[in-house]
Chain A
Amino acid sequence: QSALTQPASVSGSPGQSITISCTGPSGDVGNYNSVSWYQQHPGKAPKLIIYGVSNRPSGVSNRFSGSKSANTASLTISGLQAEDEADYYCCLHMRTITYVFGTGTTVTVL
């Protein structure tokens, strides 16, 4: 399957809010209720920050929130902090039982 489309980069100043979109092709067979989001710092393994569209695992800041509409999911980071500078990936469970990741978004804190 083709990767989900994310903006290559998003930037914001400390304290601002930013939103990252994750879009699948129209008519795809992904289960958008399964959307999860992962944060990856350079040289590190990905870390789960959102699951089931809008749920946060224990220990993840409430500055991270997720939503979806039709075939587009979104991740919002509010009150942007320097530590949020990382790569972010969405992930979707497909009807073929496998998964597909987004193309990834680099977040830069100005």
Chain B
Amino acid sequence: QVQLVQSGAEVKKPGASVKLSCKAAGYTFTSYHIHWVRQAPGHGLEYMGIINPSGGATVYAQKFHGRVTVTRDTSTSTVYMELSSLTSEDTGVYFCTRELGTTLYFDYWGQGTLVTVSS
């Protein structure tokens, strides 16, 4: 069955970077785009960006330009999201989710990774 399995919780200090992973299983990895969405505690969903695992092309939401880098490893069907220059406002749960590329909706989601930024 389709699964997106994310890496474990992280605790980081302000100014540091964090790199999260999202391992796909149960489908052809290069056939679906992977997106990243985050949720601050008690807040709503916030879109971060997309990677096309087939060629590696990325598009990021303007808010995260210059701070976020999404990459993929096709040999392990894994997508990585690195966020730099962390502040307390980056604390939250980060989700990866997939989308067929032409359907414009997210049908499967990872379980989420909690990132805590604290001095």
**Cβ B110 vs Cβ A45 within 8 A:** yes
Interface segment, one of B13-21, B43-51, B76-84 = B43-51
**Cβ A48 vs Cβ B107 within 8 A:** yes
- A contact residues, total (Cβ < 8 Å): 27
**Cβ A48 vs Cβ B105 within 8 A:** yes
Contact of A22 with B by CB under 8 A: no
Contact of B119 with A by CB under 8 A: no
**Cβ A97 vs Cβ B59 within 8 A:** yes
**Cβ A36 vs Cβ B105 within 8 A:** yes
- Chosen A-B contacts, 11 in total, with CB atoms closer than 8 Å, are A46-B106, A48-B106, A51-B107, A91-B45, A97-B50, A101-B44, A101-B45, A101-B47, A102-B44, A103-B44, A104-B44
Chain B positions near chain A (C-beta within 8 angstroms): 35, 37, 44-47, 49-50, 59-62, 95, 97, 103-107, 109-112
